[in-house]
Amino acid sequence: MSHSTTAATPKAFGGGRSPFNVSYGKIMMWVFLLSDAFTFSAFLISYGTTRFASAIWPDPNHVFHSFPFMGEANLPLMFVSLMTFILILSSVTMVLAVHAGHCNDRQGVVKWLLWTIIGGIAFLSCQAWEWTHLNHQGAWWGSFQDLTASKDVYHHFFKPAVLESATAAQLSQSTNNFFNFFFTITGFHGAHVTSGVIFNILILINTVNGTYAKRGHYEMVEKVGLYWHFVDLVWVFVFTCFYLL
Amino acid sequence: MSHGAHNDNNIQHLYEGDQSKLYSGVLAHHHDVKSDESKAQVKKIWKITFILSVITVVEVLGGLYLSAHLSKVIINSIFLILTVLKSAYIVSVFMHLGDEVKWFRNIVLMPLVLFIWFIIAFLYDGGHWKTMNNENPARFDYHHAK
């Protein structure tokens, strides 16, 4: 039976070669990211379920209308657009670091990793500001449970017409649910960004020390890069679910 | 069995030796930073950056100005299509999945089909709860129902 096969055209799963042509570490990073994608989507889909079950829901253009140092100016979506742009740019600098790695360009890897780390820290700072700002408006995990509270406490979060007609129970439940999901999901994402920044710092140290130059390749930069791009990818969906829909 | 790829020592070492030799696609060979090939790739990266930025700007403008005028179904469909488009660019170019071999792409992408059912089932469930609550307000206002 083996007489009919020749080595010239090996089948992908015929043995003798790696069918995926990818190293073990990279496959495992992809598998991990796939599982992480299911974790994040479980969060986002349960957010969707709760939203579909609610009679009213906070309006993103009202909740997210502030910008640092702009006081009471009404700038809906502007700050989160800035955050999104920062994260996209840090993804670009990461892919440029990976590219420099392919070219064995140590200086390039160092330069672009530094920019990526700066981008990640800038994003986290923006998130810290946004959390603090919302917290000053009374939002946190488990907030807005007081059914006797005046409607004024919700005026940051709803369209005036919706606020007018809603019952105390509807306002309390939807706002409480909204912020539980908001802090959980952006918090889980922020935790990913934080660990991504730490990984980036670690591989930057290794690059500076010449560990990868000695090894002959920068695959580690590539693997951490996959993780970093995934974090950007998740933000694309968080941005849509919380700020646009 | 005497002749076959698995007897080739040049290939066998991939399983035991330096795994980095399993780089694939554009990652298969190293080239100079200043080569035309390298410059073409960097150019492509900036092109994708530009596209991602434009999509984001369109999304924000849509959220600011269109969401009040278009029906919820239409504007949300636009947002979701743009979101999927953005993630496709990130995964295929930035994460280089587009440069991997076909079967590896399939292994990563095929499980995502589960999301179709995942999303439909859970959103339908949420909608059903809303109907039940509307039909029986006491269920919804359970804080007051004693």
DSSP 8-state code for residue B97 = G
Q: Are residues B105 and B84 in the same domain?
A: no
List CB contacts (< 8 A) between A172 and chain B. 143
Q: Are residues B95 and B107 in the same domain?
A: no
Distance CA B79, CA B61 (A): 11
Whether B120 is in a domain gets the answer yes
Q: Mutation target for B interface from A29, A49, A105, A231: give the one with most B CBs within 10 A.
A: A49
Contact check, Cβ <8 Å, B90/A229: yes
Whether B44 is in a domain gets the answer yes
pLDDT tens-digit series, residues B65-95: 888 788 889 999 999 999 999 999 999 999 9
Q: Are residues B118 and B74 in the same domain?
A: no
Q: Which are the contacts of A75, defined by CB distance < 8 A and separation ≥ 6?
A: A65, A66, A67
Predicted ipTM beyond 0.90: no
Distance CA B132, CA A173 (A): 16
User: Pick from A48, A108, A169: which is nearest to B122 by CB?
Assistant: A48
- Closest CA of chain B from A109, distance in Å: 11
Q: Are residues B91 and B131 in the same domain?
A: no
- Closest CA of chain B from A132, distance in Å: 23
- Residue count of chain B: 146
Tokens of residue B130, six digits:
């809303």
User: Pick from A102, A173, A229: which is nearest to B95 by CB?
Assistant: A229
Q: Are residues B51 and B79 in the same domain?
A: yes
Q: Are residues B71 and B92 in the same domain?
A: yes
Q: Are residues B63 and B78 in the same domain?
A: yes
Q: Are residues B46 and B90 in the same domain?
A: yes
- Looking at the structure of chain B, the number of domains it has is 2
Phi-psi region of A15 (alpha: psi -120 to 50; beta: other; left: phi over 0): left
Whether B62 is in a domain gets the answer yes
Whether B24 is in a domain gets the answer no
User: Which residue in this structure is represented by tokens 């590219």?
Assistant: A99
Contact check, Cβ <8 Å, A217/B23: yes
Whether B11 is in a domain gets the answer no
Q: Are residues B70 and B51 in the same domain?
A: yes
Whether B105 is in a domain gets the answer yes
Q: Are residues B44 and B94 in the same domain?
A: yes
DSSP 8-state code for residue A148 = T
Q: Are residues B44 and B81 in the same domain?
A: yes
Q: What is the pLDDT along chain A (245 residues), one digit of tens a residue?
A: 444 444 445 677 777 667 787 888 889 999 999 999 999 999 999 999 999 999 999 998 888 888 888 777 788 889 999 999 999 999 999 999 999 998 889 999 999 999 999 999 999 999 999 999 999 999 999 999 999 999 999 998 999 999 999 999 899 999 999 999 999 999 999 999 999 999 999 999 999 999 988 887 888 999 999 999 999 999 999 999 999 98
Distance CA A13, CA A16 (A): 9
- Is A18 in a helix, a strand, or coil? coil
- Is B105 in a helix, a strand, or coil? helix
Q: Are residues B76 and B111 in the same domain?
A: no
Whether B60 is in a domain gets the answer yes
Compute CA distances B136 → A6, A48, A110, B140, whole Å: 72, 22, 62, 7
Q: Which domain holds residue B80?
A: 34-99
